[in-house]
Amino acid sequence: MTRRRSRIGPPLLALALALALAAAGVAAPARAQTGADTSPAGAVPTVNAVWTEHEFTFTYFGRGTYYSCGGLDDKIEHILTALGARPKPWVQVSCLDGGGVQLLPTARIKVAVPTEVTPELLAQLEAGKAKRELVAKTQGRGTAVDVATAQFPAERRVVEFEGRRLDYINDGDCELLDQLLPQVLEPLGIREAPGSSLRCIPRQSQTGAVQLRLESLHARPAAVAEPAVP
């Protein structure tokens, strides 16, 4: 194969050209690397994930902020959905004090979240496959696809909850977030990101109390297709 030779001009001309390029801020073109990541700048890497189902019993101990049954139900559902849970998680709050404000409400939560596929997770799912097939047959679904092992692409995102007055989540929800984090969110694999903070003061709604940044796994929208590889 014939290689093209680069012409080398006189030393002074080369020096002048180099100085002109530097002054203009023109960088030399980078070499392509074999096997390097060629995804667009800022693209979020994806992982294979499956939906995993979880159940919790969560009791809220309010020291300054209290909710009605429907209010607490809506708040928890909103938080879980924003963090990547499958839409419409099941949340049922026990109303011991009628339908108004509850002093010590307990919520039963059933939620499915994306979980990154690992050999250990696949082994657990395979071990429970026979039971799931039996339940499906009992419910009349016959040979339905085992959704527990259906993989899909997912990506990690940082979700921010800031206590702005007009937002659905505000500084008055500081106590709720503070209790949900260790009891529900962290067991789901959700973690605080750098710069996150909660500054809850009992019986006070302090401006700026909620500056929560949480990293969670989100299923990629089915409408967003990967570009075809030629």
DSSP label of 183: I
Q: Which of 161, 160, 180, 158 lies closest to 65, judged by CA?
A: 180
Q: Domain ranges in the chain?
A: 46-219
Model pLDDT for residues 55-80, shown as the tens digit of each residue:
999 999 998 899 998 999 999 999 99
CA–CA distance, 118 with 133 (Å, rounded to integer):
22
User: How would you write the pLDDT of the chain (230 residues) with one tens digit per residue?
Assistant: 433 333 334 343 333 434 443 343 333 333 333 233 333 445 678 999 999 999 999 999 998 899 998 999 999 999 999 999 999 999 999 877 676 788 889 999 999 999 999 988 888 887 766 665 555 556 555 544 455 678 999 999 999 999 876 678 999 999 999 999 999 999 999 999 999 999 998 877 678 899 999 999 999 986 334 433 33
pLDDT of residue 133: 55
**Largest interatomic CA distance in the chain:** 92
Looking from the CA of 29 toward its CB, the CA atoms found within 13 Å total 3
Q: Which of 184, 125, 188 lies closest to 151, judged by CA?
A: 125
The pTM assigned to this predicted structure is 0.70
- How much of the chain is in helix, strand and coil states, percent to nearest 5? 30, 25, 45
